[in-house]
Amino acid sequence: MKAAVNCICNGKEIEVAEALELRDGSKENSYFTCVSCGEPVRVHKAGANSLAHFEHHERNYSCPYSEGKKIKEDTFSLDDPRAIEGYEIDRKILSGARNSSLARQRKQMDSYKCIACGFKLKLNGRFVIECHHKDPIGTEGVRETSLEDLISLCPTCHRISHTREKPLSLNEIVEARKSL
């Protein structure tokens, strides 16, 4: 991969040395973008093994200046009981916003007890209980949520509720627990 030594800043193309001066000497953060793909980049000083260069904030496999190495995950055979884990990967995750105050109120209303099985446990001063949306946040987008839209479930029942795309209802969770 060839390193990017130019970027775009405030509509004009600049070199690494000028970008380093802007970054180190300015009170404001300068915004640098890639000359090839236009995505945000950060400037890096020369190091022991590399020249000064720009690096993408997030990998862009279609840009010639973005680090495109993919991690080889298949280092052991499928029959081997070992695997490589713990390495860092870039991941962008979108998640629906939740209101922790509403969840806390629901748990208090349910006395920190699982509505499906009655489980109640306090460890190290904290209750082991989760708040579950009857209708998942991800299906409807932005919406108003009330306490009636939530129930308290133990971790096991909460996991059971999400064993299919449309979460199980409270009655279905109770029935599933009976069959255990």
Based on the domain organization, do 105 and 173 belong to the same domain? Answer: yes
Cα separation, 117 vs 86, in Å, equals: 35
Based on the domain organization, do 47 and 114 belong to the same domain? Answer: no
Cα separation, 145 vs 152, in Å, equals: 15
In a domain, 15, yes or no: yes
Based on the domain organization, do 109 and 174 belong to the same domain? Answer: yes
pLDDT tens string 118-177: 999 999 999 999 999 998 887 777 889 999 999 999 999 999 999 998 999 999 999 999
In a domain, 62, yes or no: no
Q: What average pLDDT does range 102-131 have in this prediction?
A: 97
Residue-level pLDDT at 115: 98
Query: Do residues 71 and 87 make contact, with C-beta atoms less than 8 angstroms apart?
Result: yes
pLDDT tens string 45-81: 888 778 888 888 888 878 888 875 544 445 667 777 7
**What 3-state class would DSSP assign to 159?**
helix
Domain limits for position 167:
100-178
